[in-house]
Amino acid sequence: MNHSPGKHILWVLAFCLMLSLAISPALATAQASTADPSATQTPPPPSANTAAPKTTTQAAQATPSSQEIATAKASGKVWVNTDSGVYHKNGRWYGKTKSGKFMTEAEAKAAGYKEAQR
């Protein structure tokens, strides 16, 4: 018999292609059936109760403009880094961290935030 190595490679590739085409729909069905059923449901419409926290989260995530930083500094507010749990009275990180918000120093202490050590 005449067996060339090229024919074997083509047969193996064809077999792998046919196998992958036969298995992929079964895998997709299995993954869809084991997925979280709540992920496929449509989310409930927003209500008045859920709108307020989203606004607060968005405000905490937005980096303030230089005008907002200057206004807050003039009114004596501190910048609270909500990720690290510290607040800055001034300096390099005042109004510059990725997530944070302005509040008075008394509010920051009451909320459990600590003053940043320089």
Residues 74-110: tens digit of each pLDDT: 999 999 999 999 999 989 999 999 999 999 999 999 9
Instruction: Say which residues have a Cβ less than 8 Å from residue 79's Cβ, sequence separation at least 6.
Output: 69, 72, 87, 88, 93, 94, 95, 96, 97, 100, 101, 102
Distance, CA of 5 to chain centre: 51
C-beta of residue 75 within 8 angstroms of C-beta of residue 107:
no
Digit-coded pLDDT (tens) for 35-70: 555 555 555 555 545 444 444 444 445 688 889 999
Q: Whole-model pTM?
A: 0.48
- Copy the structure tokens of residue 44: 């409930």
